[in-house]
Structure 1
Amino acid sequence: MTRRPRKSGLVRSAAIICLLVGLGPVTGVAEVSVASPFTDNAVLQRDMPLPVWGKADPGEKVTVEFAGQTKSCAADSSGRWELRLDAMRASAEPRVLQVSGQDSKRSFANVVVGEVWICSGQSNMQFAAKSVPEIRVLERKAKGIRSFEVGKTVAFTEQDRLDGQWVDGPPSSAVALAFAYFLEEAADVPVGIILTCWGSSSLEAWMPRDMTESVPHFKTMVEEFDADARTRDRIAAILKGPKPWSQADDVFLRRQTNILYNAMMHPLAPYACRGLVWYQGERNTQSMFGMPKEPWFSRNSGMLKYGETLGQWIQRYRTEWQNDQMHFLITMLPGYYQEMPTGPKMGPEHPASHSWAWMRESQLKAGELGNVSVANTVDLGDVKNVHPKDKLPVGQRLALLAVRDTLDEDVVAEGPVMKRVERQGDHLVVHFDHADGLTTRDGEAPSGFWLADDSEKWVEARAELKGRTVVLRSADLAKPLYVRYAFVGKPKVNLVNEAGLPAYPFRSDSFAP
């Protein structure tokens, strides 16, 4: 029999430390561990290499077996190991994923292969499926959907592990469930949803700390957070204290900078997935220009800087996931109106008001990146309720985009998109893409169009459908120069294509807000 060499003092010390911090008992050799997203009932992403990773003794050989594949690697000097399984076709056949170390073995049962999406954001992503009757019906009909819901917490530094496990059933989120249902219906493969979201969270809450190098306002926010001993002490006390947290403590945690990413997103990377569905932005609408002095929880990008920041965030996540093709589905903020302290106060239907129209424009700016799609919800929402219940069409439209843009299916997934605006004397002609069967839902003239000249005074337009175009006039303007469509807080719009999908909001002017 070959005798194993004695472990070095360094390895013995590491084992003792693991015991002291509660990572598990030490019995001579540390058991091989596997990253948190690997549990029973997991869904693995089809058609792409699959990273599998975890911890073991430095230098220890780790072997992963699944679906006829056997791959091995050695843990590095820090004890981290990572290997990649070859890409596999979708399969609903339940199989066992086995991970073996030198003296230990982990097995995960009922593992399938299909489409995996992360669903993240704030309260409208968290919004419960049980609160939407139309989606509760889907929950009962769902067959091939599994979910992994990440426990809500924060951390001062990037974590390796998180709370959660795969279950053979749909997610609790209304939007995530509807998205998964229609995606599974179209793809006919298992669909796995990783739900990691928390109400009131800003984009900056989900940003890794190293983005301070490229995002100036985020650098300021992190520096302020680091210097705020009172806030950091309160966070530490909440984390050490009893659960459930009080409502005040819960809100305090989720409104912080960076620390949601550390605890609820970083441990997921680089779990193979098709992409990430992002329903967030309400928190960043608290100002137009960003970083107001008060209240503290309003310190973020604001609406105008959100688009550029979101684009950088997307690129950074692709780096984290080691996948420059990782797809992002952005959920446009729906109709709603809150009076802003800046700008004219003209109400929810006037394009001169400072409103969520500017946030939607920022979200569409991120859509200019490759492998990013924006689901149009401008016809949805509630003028007074920031948490509208019309979540079913949101999930449907996100799924249509995923089917077209990631599964390469020939489906109509977008409503009309402004292609160009033509000036013709006393009127403007708006030309659209994705405009087959251009019509209105109610059979009336198109609504939601406003015109202006260089005076920047906006007047409602009289609109007329002509083929794939809309012709705009106003008795108040002899020579209109610019048009805004649905560029208000809560627009009343009816323009759709033959698929019933609404036209995207736009403006042809470059006036500063």
Structure 2
Amino acid sequence: MKKHLLIPVLFIALLQNTIAIAQELKPANLFSTGMVLQQNAPVPVWGTAKPNSKVTVTFDTQKETTKADKNGKWMLKLAPLKASKIGKDMVISADTEIVLSNVLVGEVWICSGQSNMQFKVNSVPEIKSLEPFARNIRTFQVKNIVSLEEADDVTGRWEVTTPSSAVAFGFAYFLESIGDVPVGIILSSWGSSSIEAWMPRDMTNDLPYFKTIMDDFDKDVTTQNRLKKAINSPKGWNIKEDIFMRRQPNVVYNAMMKPLAPYACQGLVWYQGERNTRYLSGVPEVTEANWFHKVSGMKEYGDILKLWIENYRKQWLNENMHFAIVMLPGYGKGTHTTPTIDSKSPTAESWAWMRESQLQALDLKNTSVINTIDLGSETNIHPTDKFPIGQRLALLAAKNTLGIDVLAAGPMLDKVEAKNNTLTVHLKNSTGLKTNNKKSPTGFWIADASLNWKIANAKIEGETVILQNKDIAHPEFIRYAFAGKPDVNLVNSANLPAYPFRTDAD
């Protein structure tokens, strides 16, 4: 061989060897010892291998084979599996063999959102006390990180342990108990992140405001370089950089959600919205000081949420993927422009508008909204009363996804009848309608055409509530629990609170 050809030939050989090593058989990080697979649904399994090599996955009685593509990527699907509390081996083979042991089959849920989803078990004694009694619960904790491009894999692994999140653990504990089935939680959440942080770039096709945000982001070289520096820092990043990263649009989705699809799961629990309560409506003009305010307002959130759900279902190739939305609980502060409010007022710029938007998720099939209107804190955006949230999530999941016959939701508005000077409220889920303190129902306001709101005198008759006010001769409209931190006491026989509503249009 001529000397001048030696170096290029050696370089090519070295490069080919490096590629071969890099593409040796490897499942995606979601597939590891101790994992939980979704029952009663096709189960995609994927990873990398040498280009064009044959890959076989064996689990239980199934054996499926596929071929890696020219880039070494492969995916196959196992047929629907039956629930199993007995750990089994999954064997993945190509030129080498990988054995993933102690694999259970049950219910898999992604738990995502911002800080109230991250809120730790150790901060809620009632939930902490359940840990010794937990059985058949596994957790995959997704590392908090961002990416400028859609990532192929996540950082994390399955652990035979309960989630660190109070809400996620409470949900898993009660679901496992009610359903008598293993539960796997994929925990992917990050404090103070907006819904825009969790939105894929292709949602710019549906939402002009998000296209504007992403166009501005793409032009912002300073921000991109700052993100790259934090991501690549060998020492990690400080809290200031951490906040900066998680408050950017799209990049959290790229790193922490996109690589999870299409892992088979029953659904996604979404506890987010606080970051999007800063404005009643619209995307504000931002300055260097309030750069992180560039998010949608409360009134727009409902339509965005529905598009977001539909987009995720496409990512998971599952139009029946269930979405359980945790309603924001009571809170006494207002918006950025009107921070001080009367937390009992039905007209203040409060979280009531966000709750109304969150309830729009029910316009879509296979959705739930967990009512928290009786929970929360006047002054603490991170309330500790997370125990009921886990219970209510589990009840709705058991009813809506496992088909268990249980009263899972509180009373919801059905219709209103006007007669003389009264309004009669008919409710769904109203079996055993009562108040939890044996007093008259509270939280109802009524108005005539002038929209001059007055507190209603309310009384329960059967499974209806009769409303009136001596100063309103012809009441037309109702707002119930439509306030930042309303005082409410209306429940059904399962002691589940009535959902907030209003009957007037904007």
User: Quick check: TM above 0.5?
Assistant: yes
Mean alpha-carbon deviation: is it higher for 48-57 or for 495-504?
Answer: 48-57
Partner of 1:116, secondary structure, is strand
| 8 A contact 1:346–1:352 mirrored in 2 | no
| 8 A contact 1:118–1:275 mirrored in 2 | yes
* Structure 2 residue aligned with 1:493: 488
Partner of 1:235, secondary structure, is helix
| 8 A contact 1:36–1:163 mirrored in 2 | yes
Partners of 1:344 and 1:455 lie apart in 2 by: 26
Q: Which amino acid aligns with 2:83?
A: A
Kindly state the Cα deviation for residue 303 of structure 1 after the two structures are TM-superposed: 0.4
Partner of 2:167, secondary structure, is helix
Q: Percent identity, please.
A: 51
Q: Which amino acid aligns with 2:174?
A: F
Q: What's the CA shift string for 1:236-270, capped at 9, x where partnerless?
A: 11112243421111111010100001000111110
Partner of 2:363, secondary structure, is coil
| 8 A contact 1:342–1:354 mirrored in 2 | no
Task: Please report the TM-score for the alignment, with normalisation by the length of structure 1.
Answer: 0.94
| 8 A contact 1:336–1:356 mirrored in 2 | yes
Kindly state the Cα deviation for residue 343 of structure 1 after the two structures are TM-superposed: 7.1
Is residue 2:431 matched to residue 1:433? no
Kindly state the Cα deviation for residue 367 of structure 1 after the two structures are TM-superposed: 1.5
Is residue 2:36 matched to residue 1:37? no
* Structure 2 residue aligned with 1:69: 62
* Structure 1 residue aligned with 2:184: 192
Is residue 2:359 matched to residue 1:364? yes
Partner of 1:367, secondary structure, is helix
| 8 A contact 2:230–2:236 mirrored in 1 | no
Kindly state the Cα deviation for residue 18 of structure 1 after the two structures are TM-superposed: 9.4
* Structure 2 residue aligned with 1:6: none
Gaps spanning 5+ residues in structure 2: where? 1-7
Gaps spanning 5+ residues in structure 1: where? 1-8, 20-24
Partners of 1:344 and 1:185 lie apart in 2 by: 42
| 8 A contact 2:323–2:367 mirrored in 1 | yes
Kindly state the Cα deviation for residue 346 of structure 1 after the two structures are TM-superposed: 4.9
Selected match of 1:141 from 133, 142, 145: 133
Mean alpha-carbon deviation: is it higher for 240-249 or for 406-415?
Answer: 240-249
Is residue 2:280 matched to residue 1:288? yes
| 8 A contact 1:303–1:358 mirrored in 2 | yes
Task: Please report the TM-score for the alignment, with normalisation by the length of structure 2.
Answer: 0.95
Q: Which amino acid aligns with 2:77?
A: R
| 8 A contact 2:362–2:368 mirrored in 1 | yes
Q: What's the CA shift string for 1:172-222, capped at 9, x where partnerless?
A: 000000000000001111110000000000001111111100011111111
Kindly state the Cα deviation for residue 340 of structure 1 after the two structures are TM-superposed: 2.5
Kindly state the Cα deviation for residue 300 of structure 1 after the two structures are TM-superposed: 1.2
Q: What's the CA shift string for 1:333-379, capped at 9, x where partnerless?
A: 00002232557965100011011000000000112200000000011
Partner of 2:56, secondary structure, is strand
Partners of 1:432 and 1:196 lie apart in 2 by: 36
Selected match of 1:325 from 305, 320, 323: 320
Partners of 2:236 and 2:339 lie apart in 1 by: 43
- Report matched runs for 1:207-226 at 5 Å: 207-226=199-218
| 8 A contact 2:278–2:336 mirrored in 1 | no
| 8 A contact 1:344–1:353 mirrored in 2 | no
Q: Which amino acid aligns with 1:309?
A: I
Alpha-carbon spacing, 1:341–1:64, altered in 2? closer, same or farther (3 Å) = closer
Kindly report the root-mean-square deviation, in angstroms, between the aligned alpha carbons of the 2 structures. 1.7
- Report matched runs for 1:293-332 at 5 Å: 293-294=285-286, 295-332=290-327
Partners of 1:18 and 1:378 lie apart in 2 by: 60
Q: Which amino acid aligns with 1:228?
A: D
Q: Which amino acid aligns with 2:470?
A: A
Alpha-carbon spacing, 1:128–1:355, altered in 2? closer, same or farther (3 Å) = same
* Structure 1 residue aligned with 2:46: 53
Selected match of 1:205 from 197, 200, 204: 197
| 8 A contact 1:345–1:353 mirrored in 2 | no
Partners of 1:452 and 1:30 lie apart in 2 by: 68
Q: Which amino acid aligns with 1:320?
A: Q
- Report matched runs for 1:457-476 at 5 Å: 457-476=452-471
| 8 A contact 1:345–1:354 mirrored in 2 | no
Alignment coverage as a number of residue pairs? 494
Is residue 2:15 matched to residue 1:16? yes
| 8 A contact 2:442–2:490 mirrored in 1 | yes
